[in-house]
Structure formats: structure tokens, C-alpha cells
Amino acid sequence: MHTNVAQAIARRDRGEPVSTGLRTGVAFVVLALLAIAADLMIGPGAWFFAVVGSVLLTVVVSRPFVGIAVLMSSFMIEYPKALQGTGFLTINNVLGLILLVLLTQRVYVTEDRWFTGNREVRLLFLIGICYVVSGYFNGPPTSLLELIGSPPPSDDVRLYFNRVAFVIFFASFIRTSGHVRLIYALAIAFMVGSAIVGVWEVLHGGGVSGFRASTEQALIRQAWNPNRLALFSIIAIGALWYALQNVYNPVFRGGIVAIVLVLILGVFMTASRSGLLGLLTCMGFIAVEQGLSLRRLLGMMLVGTLALVLVLQLVPEKSLDRIANLPGTGSTSSDIGTGSLERRQYGFEIGFEIIKENILLGVGAGNWDITRFLHDPTGSTAAPHNSYLQAMAEGGLVCVLAFLGLFWGTWNNFKVAESLLPRGRLRDLDWVVKGARVGLLTLVVFSMFADLWQSIVLFWLVGLGIALRRYAEDLNPVSA
């Protein structure tokens, strides 16, 4: 069965050869007619969207992995308004519909209904059910949501299931080593770009409060938050460090080291204490996973020394004061960041009160704001800054356990893929497997200090783990 499925998928992914001159001419004629029709029926300028949409449709139908890349980028970055669409006619919805049709056709041809028995997909749906049931029984009245201007919780539920659909599409159409490298490198490129923008802004007097790196919604839209920008920088550091082990050209190696140094600089410029902890976690995991050797030790010491010089020379003093103001260490020469620690501690206390009242069933996805507003004497609607706390408050005990199972299953998928991949294929994907693993570990640690379990990064890692394992099992069906 594995062999037949793999052969069918291979035939499907190869696609048809480039069309002849006649077919190309016919395609241009069809595009021209579509452009004229759109201009007459919708209005001037609509021809552009008709042409772009037709080209995108053609490319995605023949190469579905391109659709996954576009869909992931639309989740991560802020597209120009002209390309976002309106109402339900958005690029995400159109791509989702196309991919759904392609997935239905693929299941019909190959009879590969892998997602019906996949553990991670089942856990994702279990989490979604927890959110829906909790919101139905414990969700606040709509009138209260309108009182504080909070969006309806259905938006959060819909967003969550959109992410689940992305995971299924991801693991269904990312089926070759080239696909995996593309989709992984694309996300890392977005993260690197966001970090560079954040560093640039701080060097020119910008950023949050004039000293904390932030992208102000450039590139990865969530990187406007310094803590999340630190997370993205650390995930990229792990990926590039492992990529460095497979690159032997001195120019390319020097370029990768330079980018890693900028990313480390970016972590310190965010002035994120959770970022500092995440960076230490990443470095510690790499040291343990790779083992100690004189060459690796000297390499890490060299990079660390260069990073220290850059940090001391370029990072604003306020950023260093804030990142060094850790809980339990007392005040530093400056009390920058102390208020943030106090607010987080107070938020945890309110969160535990909410959990005690709804320990089995939470209050529903997206209902943290209104629930805290009702429990907090100050009337605050601030985020919990802790993914475990938020999942427990919004989805209940089963929801949190399902998330933990999801993390463990994804971690295990990376390990199984690494063990099953033949040596030659592992060489191509080694940096992806190991980089994704350290990225997952960083996310688990960061989740104690930020609200991340609706972030596309989590679903990207889950989909990557499933895709890598399925690819490895197709290559080695006996062991699987």
C-alpha cells in the first residue's frame, strides 16, 4: 500500500511537461478574454486581478505545494490591501477552496485518507471541540462582548479551524524533500527579514519606546510584539546553525554566521527576558544534541565572542537593563521592566481564579478578554502572557492535555523521520529536521511567557513534523 501510494503521489507531483508554443498562445488568448470580461463586468482595473488570479489558479493546480507556500505566507505576513480581497473573497479562502478540491481528487485517486487516522490531526480536532463546547456552555452573552468592543468568539474558532485545515493541506501536498526545504526555508527567510528590520529600527532610534526591536507589522505581522520577534529570531538561529554544519563554501559560511550574529543582536534588542531564556535554551539544546568536540566548542566560542562584542557596542543601555531585570534578582541600576513583571504576576492571579471556576470546561476560545474584564477589579482585558494558562482558561483541562500531546507527537515525528530517512536524503534534510526540533522546543519554552497557540508558527511546525514523517515512511515502508 505504501509503495502504491508513493508511486501515485510521485506521478501526480511530477505534473506535465512545459506546454508547447501552441498551448502557450491559447493560454494568453484565454487570459486576454478573461481580462476584458473582468474589466467590462466589474470595472476598470479588474483585469489585473483576473490575470493574477488565473495564473495563480493554473500554478496551484499543477503545483499544489506553491499554494501551500502562498497560503503560509498569507498567514505570516501582511499582504498589500489590493491583494487581500474583501469579505469572503480573500486569497486564503480562494486558495483553501482550490486545495480542498485538489485534496478530494487526490484521495479519490490514491485512496490515501491519512488524516483520518493521524494522531496529531485528531488532537487538533479535539482541541477545537473543547473550544466550541466550552464556549457553548460557559461563553459570555453577546451583549457583554459588545460592551467592551471585543470581537465575537466565533472569529477565534474559525481562525483555529483554518489553521487545522492548513496542517492537513500542508502534510498532503508537501511530499518531496524539495517541497520540505522550500516551505521551511521560506518561513525562516520571513523570520530573518523581520529580525533585520527590527535591528535596523533600533539602530535608527525606532522600535517600541525607542529601544525595543519591533517590525511594526512589516514582514511577519506578529513581529510587532518584541517578545514574538525574539521567538522568531531564535527559531531562525537554530535553523541556520544546523544549516551551517552542511555548508562548506567559506563565503556562504561567513554569510550564515553574519546572519546568526544579527539574529542574536535582535534578541537582545527586543529587551525580552523570555527571549534571553529562549536563546539559552536553544544554545543548550544544540550543545547537548551535537555533543562537545574541540571544533564545535571553538566555533561556538567564536560566535559567542563576536555576538558579545556586537551586543555591548550596539544594544541600547535601556534594552540591557530591561533584559537583565529578572524575577527574583532584585532591581538593577534601573527598574525598567519591573512594571511588566508585576502586571504579569497579577494577570496570573486573575487567570488562576478563572481556571478554578471552569477547570473542566473553559470559557471558550477568544473569551479571555471579557472573562478577565468581569473578574478583574481594574477592568483590565490584558492578555494572560502564558499559553498554558490561556488554553486552560479558554478550553479546560482536556484542551491543555491535548496541546501537550500535540507537542509530544510532533517531537516524536521529527525523531522518527530522522531515524527512517536514508543517509543520502537525511543529508539534504538534516538541518530541517534538527532545526525544526529546536524550534519546537523553543516554542514550548516561550509558551510560558506569551500567547502563541493560535500562532501560525505552531501549526507550521506540526504540519512539518507530519510531512517529514510521511515522507520518510514512504521511502522506508518496511520500517514504518
Q: State the Cα–Cα distance between residues 66 and 53, nearest whole angstrom.
A: 14
Q: Is the dihedral of CA 422, 425, 431, 432 positive or negative?
A: negative
pLDDT of residue 346: 87
Nearest to 277 by CA among 324, 238, 330, 223: 324
Cell of 194: 523581520
Give 79's DSSP letter.
-
Q: Are 381 and 373 a contacting pair, CB within 8 Å?
A: yes
Q: How many CB atoms lie within 10 A of CB 178?
A: 12
Q: State the Cα–Cα distance between residues 257 and 86, nearest whole angstrom.
A: 42
pLDDT of residue 343: 81
At 208, is the secondary structure helix, strand, or coil? strand
Residue for grid cell 529578572: 326
Q: Which backbone phi and psi does 90 adopt, to 5 degrees?
A: -115, 165
Q: Are 183 and 170 a contacting pair, CB within 8 Å?
A: yes
pLDDT of residue 34: 52
pLDDT of residue 8: 47
At 89, is the secondary structure helix, strand, or coil? strand
Give 212's DSSP letter.
B
pLDDT of residue 233: 93
Cell of 80: 498589500
Q: Which residues, listed in sequence order, are joined to residue 212 by a DSSP beta bridge?
A: 208
Written as tens digits, the pLDDT of the chain (480 aa) is 444 544 544 444 444 444 444 444 444 445 455 555 554 555 554 545 555 666 777 788 888 999 899 888 888 876 555 555 555 567 777 788 889 989 999 999 988 899 999 999 999 999 999 999 998 888 877 666 666 666 666 678 888 999 999 999 999 999 999 999 999 999 999 999 888 988 888 888 777 777 777 776 556 666 678 888 899 999 999 999 999 888 888 899 999 999 999 999 999 999 888 889 999 999 888 888 877 677 777 878 888 889 899 999 988 888 888 887 766 554 444 556 566 777 888 888 898 999 998 888 999 888 888 888 888 888 888 888 899 999 999 999 999 999 999 999 999 999 999 998 877 666 778 899 999 999 999 999 999 988 889 889 999 999 999 999 999 998 876 555
If DSSP states are collapsed to H, E and C, what string results for 216-272?
CCCCEHHHHCHHHHHHHHHHHHHHHHHHHCCCCCHHHHHHHHHHHHHHHHHHHHCCC
End-to-end CA distance of the chain: 12
pLDDT of residue 39: 47
Q: Where are the domains of the chain?
A: 2-112, 142-332+388-475
Q: State the Cα–Cα distance between residues 315 and 266, nearest whole angstrom.
A: 9
Task: Note the pTM of the prediction, 2 decimals.
Answer: 0.85
